[in-house]
Structures are given as C-alpha cells and as structure tokens.
Structure 1
C-alpha cells in the first residue's frame, strides 16, 4: 500500500504543479481510487499526508479540496516564500558549483530566449521555464531541507504565479530579473542575490488581490 500511496501523492503534486489542479478544486476519493485501480485506503492516506503540508483540506466522507488562500493567508505565505527564495539565492551565491552554474546559465538563457522570440505570448510555457530557473537556484543553495520547504510553499502559490504571466509586461520583467539574479549569484554577491530574489518573488497587495480575483 505504501507504493500505491506514494504514487497517488506524486501524481497529485504533479497535477498541482502543472495546473491540472487549482485552488478550490475538489479531489474526489472514489474517482481517484478508480483512476489508480486501488481501494480508498491508499487514497485517504495520500490525502492525509498532503493535508499535513497545507496543500489540501480534507472533506468529511468525500475527499479533499485544494488549498485556496484568503488575501491575508496569501500575503502571509508570500512573505515567508520570498524569504525562503531569497535565502536560497544568497546561499547559491556562496555555494554555486560548476555544474549548477552551467544549469543556471541554461535556465536563465531559456527565459530570455522565450521573451526574445515569443514576447509576452505563451505565458504557461514561460511559467515552466520560470519554475526551472527557481528550482535551479534552490538546488544551488545546497540545502535539501530548504529546497523541500520552497517546493511545498511554492505549490500553495503556484496557480497565482502562473496567472501572473498572463499580465502584460510580466514575462519581460521576469526574464530581466532572472538575468540580474543570476549575475549576482555568479558574482558571489550573497546579500545582493538575496535581496534581488526577494524583490522578484514578492507581490504588492493590489497585485495579490487581482490574482485572487482572477482565479475566483
């Protein structure tokens, strides 16, 4: 049953990452059990484990719902997330290995190429490149516990970050920010990289309200 539970957990997290599951979406136990060809026991165990991270809220005798923050919750999570991402960038500037440096260059260049060739179009495709950049920075920090905290926290905001790239000018701004942050990391400017990443990740309250409204 452990492997069944792990498979369901991995699938649910992948669906959240890909935007197949969004804030407020219901997750039906019976439908999941049918999809994976299992009893409801591993499904319930999977939902319990994900609930412990705050990504879903279980519903009595039905299943669960994907976490949908209030404005206050959104801003509180965002405050923590900006600090975590900033910490990762600062550590990456101190610990960047040759292998991660090459990956960081590739991830940064991919964002720039998207903007240079497609402009502000195909925002969902750009968002995947954005995830690659941030994931590379987090890995370069060399702290697996920090990496896991960033992943868990990011999933609570992922749908809203994805929606952000549908706004005019956001892709170009993001690609330029990524280049600036990457340059600071390569220059071993830990304080500069940390501050730049925090500014990049943070939203103001008006933008947060717009994104919450956009996703209903």
Structure 2
C-alpha cells in the first residue's frame, strides 16, 4: 500500500513541477487509478498527504483540486518563500561545494543563451532552466530541511512563476539576475547574495494581481 501511495503522490508532485497541473485543476481519481494501477485506498492516502502539505483542497461536491491561492494567501506564501530562497542563497555563498560550482555556471550560461537566442520564446524551456538554477542553489546551501521547505512552498506558486515568463522581457531579466546571484554566491558574498535572491523571487502586489488574473 505504501508503495502505491508514494506512486500517486510522486506523480501529482511531478505534474505540478512540470506545469502539467495548474492551480484549481481537479484531481481525477478514476484516471489516476487507471493510469497507475492502484486501488482507491492508497490514492486517498496520497490525497490526504497532499492536503496536509497544503497542495490540494477539497471542495463540497467537487472533490479534490490543486491549491489555488487568494490574493492574500499568495502574498503571504510569497513573503515566506522569498525569505527561504534568500536564506538558501546566503548559505550557498558560505558553503558552495566545489562540485556544484560548474553545474551552477552551466545552468546560468544556458539561461543567458536562451534569453539571447530565443528571447521571450519557449517559455517551457526557460521554466525548466529556472527550476534547475534554484534547485542547485538550494542544494548548495547544504541544508536539506531548508531545501524541502523551499520545494513545498514553491509548488504552491510554480504555475505563477511560469506565467510570469510570458511578460515581455521577463526571461532576459531573470537570466541577468541569475548571473548576478551566481557571481555573488561564487564570490562568497553571503549578505548580497541573500538580498538579491529575495528581490529576484519576490513580486509586487500589482504583478501578483496580474498573475492571478492570468491563470483565472
């Protein structure tokens, strides 16, 4: 049973990470049962765990749906998430393992190449690069508990960060900031890296309202 529960849980988490599931999307229990060959009990256990994480909500007569924040919920989650990401960058600047320096530079270079060669195009491609950049910074912090907290909060907002790249110039700005943050981390400038990462991750209230509207 535990194995079946983890199968469904990981499938839904992967769907969120890849942008295949968006805020407010219903969870089709019958489709999950058919696709993964699981019974209803482990499926319900997986949904209970996701609900405890704050990633799904149960609505009367509608079943489970992906968490969709209100404006105030979005701002509250964002405030915490930006600080966690900033803390990871600050710790990474103090603890960056030598074996991660190369991969960090490579993903930043890939972000820059995307911005130069594709401009505002291929949002999915840039979204994947952005996920990898933040993953590497989190791993470089040397704190797996912090990384888990970042992942949990990020999954509530990933669809909105992805939608942000549809705004003209957003990819180019993101790539520039990735380079600046990476340079600060690799130069061991912890306070500056933390502060810039907080600004990089944060949105102002008007932008948040735009993103909420964009995803209906």
TM-score (norm 2): 0.97
Question: Any residues of structure 2 matched to 1:20-169 within 5 Å, and which?
Answer: 20-59=20-59, 63-169=63-169
Q: Is the 8 A contact 1:48 1:58 kept in 2?
A: no
Query: 1:64, CA displacement in angstroms?
Result: 0.9
SS at match of 1:72: helix
Deviates more, 1:58-67 or 1:95-104: 58-67
Q: Is the 8 A contact 1:82 1:198 kept in 2?
A: yes
The match for 1:202 is 202
Report runs of 4+ in structure 1 exceeding 3 Å deviation: 59-63
| Partner Cα distance (1:44, 1:57) in 2 | 13
- Structure 2: 5+ residue stretches without partners: none
Q: Across the two proteins, how many residue pairs are aligned to each other?
A: 216
TM-score (norm 1): 0.97
Deviates more, 1:193-202 or 1:59-68: 59-68
- Structure 1: 5+ residue stretches without partners: none
Q: Is the 8 A contact 1:89 1:194 kept in 2?
A: yes
| Partner Cα distance (1:193, 1:61) in 2 | 47
Query: 1:167, CA displacement in angstroms?
Result: 0.3
RMSD: 1.1
Deviates more, 1:167-176 or 1:29-38: 29-38
Query: 1:61, CA displacement in angstroms?
Result: 7.4
